Amino acid sequence: MTSERRVPSRADVVVIGAGIVGNSVVHHLAELGWRRIVQLDQGPLPDPGGSTGHASNFIFPVDHSREITALTVDSMRQYEKLGTLTTCGGIEIARGPERAEELRRRLASATAWGVPAELVGPGRVAELVPFVDPGIILGGFWTPSVAVVDPLQAGALMREQATAQGALTVAAGVQVTDLRTRRGRMSAVCTDAGEIETDTVVIACGVWSPRIARLAGARIPLTPVVHQMIDVGPIPALAETGTEIAYPIIRDMDALMYERQSGPDLEIGSYAHRPILHEPDEIPSIEAAALSPTQLPFTQEDFDPQLEDALALFGSILDTPGAGIRHAINGLLSLTPDGAPVLGETPEVAGLWSAAAVWIKEGPGVGRMLAEWMTGGDPEIDPHGADIARFYPHQRTPAHVRARATEGFNKIYGIVHPREQWTSARPQRVSPFHARERALGAEFFETGGWERPQWYESNRALLDEFGDRIPGREHEWDARWWSPVIDAEHLALRERVAMIDLSAFAQFDVSGPGALDYLQHLAMAQVDRPVGRLCYTPLLTPGGGFRSDLTLVRLGEDSFRVITGGADGARDRFWFTRHLPADGSVSFADVTSAVCTLGLWGPRARDVLSACCADEAGDLTNEAFPFGTARRITVGTVPVLALRVSYVGDLGWELHAPFEQGLRLWDTVAEAGAPFGIVPAGIGVYGTTGRLEKGYRLMGAELDAEYDPVEAGLALPRVKSAEFVGKRPYLAARETGPAATLCTLTLGAPAEHADESGIPRYPQGGEPILTGDGERIADRKGRGSFVTSAGSAPSLGSYLLMAYLPPEHAVEGTRLQVEYMARRYPVTVARVGRTPLFDPDDTRMRS
Partner 1 sequence: MLLTVVEDREPTPEVCALARSLDPVVEAVAYGADPGPRELARWGVTAVHRIRHELLDAYAPEGYGEALAQLVARLRPSGVLAAATEHGTEILAHAAARAGLPLATDCVSVTGGDPWRLVRSRGGGMLLEEAELAAPVKLVTVAPAAAVPAAGPPHAVGECAVAEFVPELEPRHVRARVVERAARTEGTGLATASVVVSGGRGVGSAEGYAVLEELAGLLGGAVGCSRVATGNGWRPHRDQVGLTGTRIAPEVYLACGISGATQHWVGCMDARTIIAVNTDPDAAMVARADYAVIGDLHEVLPAMVAEIRARRSVHSGPVVSEERG
Partner 2 sequence: MEVLVCVKRVPAAGARVPLTGDGRDIDTRHLGFTIGPHEECAVEEAVRLVAAHGGRVTVLAVGPAECAEQVRYALAMGADRGVLVDAGRSDPDPEATAGAITQAVRTLTGGEEPFDLLLFGDCSADAGHHQVGIRVATGLGLPIVSGVKALEVAGDGLRMRREAGDGVEVYRVPLPAAAAVREGLNLPRYPSLPGRLRARKAELRTVAVEPEPGGLRTVRLRQPADDRAAVVVLGHGAAAAPAVVDVLDELGVV
Q: Which residues bind partner 2 (CB under 8 A)?
A: 2, 232, 282, 284, 287-291, 296-298, 300-301, 304, 307-308, 310-311, 318-319, 321-326
Shortest Cβ 52–partner 1 spacing (Å): 15
Pairing of strands 168-172, 176-182: unpaired
Shortest Cβ 24–partner 1 spacing (Å): 22
Residues ≥6 apart with Cβ < 8 Å to 116: 110, 143, 144, 145
In 3-state terms, what secondary structure has residue 244? coil
Q: Which is nearer to partner 1, 320 or 507 (CB)?
A: 320
Number of helices (H) and strands (E), helices first, in the chain?
A: 23, 40
Other residues' Cβ atoms within 10 Å of the Cβ of residue 770: 20
Half-sphere exposure of 616 (CA within 13 A, CB side): 0
Q: What is the torsion angle, in degrees rounded to the nearest 10, for the CA atoms of residue 429, residue 432, residue 436 and residue 442?
A: -30
Partner from partner 2, partner 1, none binding residue 530, C-beta < 5-8 Å depending on class: none
Q: Largest Cα–Cα distance in the chain? A: 91
Please tell me the count of residues contacting partner 1 according to CB under 8 A: 7
Kindly indicate which of the ranges 43-51, 688-696, 723-731, 790-798 contains the residues binding partner 1, using the contact rule CB under 8 A: 43-51
Q: What are phi and psi of 169, to 5 degrees?
A: -115, 130
Amino acid 737 reads G
Partner from partner 2, partner 1, none binding residue 47, C-beta < 5-8 Å depending on class: partner 1
Shortest Cβ 45–partner 1 spacing (Å): 8
User: How far, CA to CA in Å, does 162 sit from each of 14, 27, 31, 356, 438?
Assistant: 14, 5, 8, 21, 58
- Residue 233 touches partner 1, criterion: CB under 8 A: no
In 3-state terms, what secondary structure has residue 448? coil
Figure out which of the listed residues 73, 148, 172, 488 binds partner 1, where binding follows CB under 8 A: 172
Catalytic status, residue 549: yes
| Whether the Cβ atoms of residue 45 and residue 172 lie closer than 8 Å to each other | yes
Distance CA 59, CA 409 (A): 19
Please tell me which residue in 258, 686, 707, 762 is annotated as part of the active site: 258
DSSP secondary-structure letter at 422? Answer: P
Q: Which strand (E) or helix (H) includes residue 418?
A: none
- Residue 173 touches partner 1, criterion: CB under 8 A: yes
| Whether the Cβ atoms of residue 497 and residue 651 lie closer than 8 Å to each other | no
Q: Which strand (E) or helix (H) includes residue 560?
A: strand 559-564
Please tell me which residue in 47, 63, 382, 549 is annotated as part of the active site: 549
Other residues' Cβ atoms within 10 Å of the Cβ of residue 572: 23
Figure out which of the listed residues 286, 416, 674, 749 binds partner 1, where binding follows CB under 8 A: 286
- Residue 43 touches partner 1, criterion: CB under 8 A: yes
Q: Which is nearer to partner 2, 324 or 398 (CB)?
A: 324
Q: Which is nearer to partner 1, 286 or 479 (CB)?
A: 286
DSSP secondary-structure letter at 687? Answer: I
Shortest Cβ 296–partner 2 spacing (Å): 7
Shortest Cβ 201–partner 1 spacing (Å): 23
Shortest Cβ 202–partner 1 spacing (Å): 23
Considering only CA atoms, which of 761, 815, 804 is closest in space to residue 781?
804
Partner from partner 1, partner 2, none binding residue 172, C-beta < 5-8 Å depending on class: partner 1
Considering only CA atoms, which of 445, 450, 217, 205 is closest in space to residue 342?
205
Catalytic status, residue 227: yes
Name the burial class of residue 327, with classes exposed (0-12), middle (13-18) and buried (19+) by CB atoms within 10 angstroms of its CB: middle
Instruction: Look at the alpha carbons of 670, 672, 675, 681 in this order and tell me if their dihedral is positive or negative.
Output: negative
Shortest Cβ 328–partner 2 spacing (Å): 9
- Window 3-42: contact mask with partner 1 (x via CB under 8 A): ----------------------------------------
| Whether the Cβ atoms of residue 13 and residue 25 lie closer than 8 Å to each other | no
Q: Please list every residue from 828 through 847 that binds partner 1, using CB under 8 A.
A: none
Residues ≥6 apart with Cβ < 8 Å to 61: 69, 72, 73, 76, 115, 143, 145, 146, 361
Shortest Cβ 308–partner 2 spacing (Å): 6
E-only strand ranges, 727-780: 741-747, 769-770
Distance CA 190, CA 197 (A): 9
Shortest Cβ 173–partner 1 spacing (Å): 6
Shortest Cβ 286–partner 2 spacing (Å): 9
The packing angle between helices 66-81 and 363-376, to 10°, is: 100
Please tell me which residue in 227, 384, 490, 753 is annotated as part of the active site: 227
- Rounded to the nearest angstrom, the gap between the alpha carbon of residue 431 and the centroid of all alpha carbons in its chain is 24
Q: Which is nearer to partner 1, 47 or 487 (CB)?
A: 47
Figure out which of the listed residues 47, 67, 437, 819 binds partner 1, where binding follows CB under 8 A: 47
Distance CA 802, CA 638 (A): 39
Residue ranges binding partner 1 (CB under 8 A): 43-44, 46-47, 172-173, 286
Residue numbers annotated as active site:
227, 258, 549
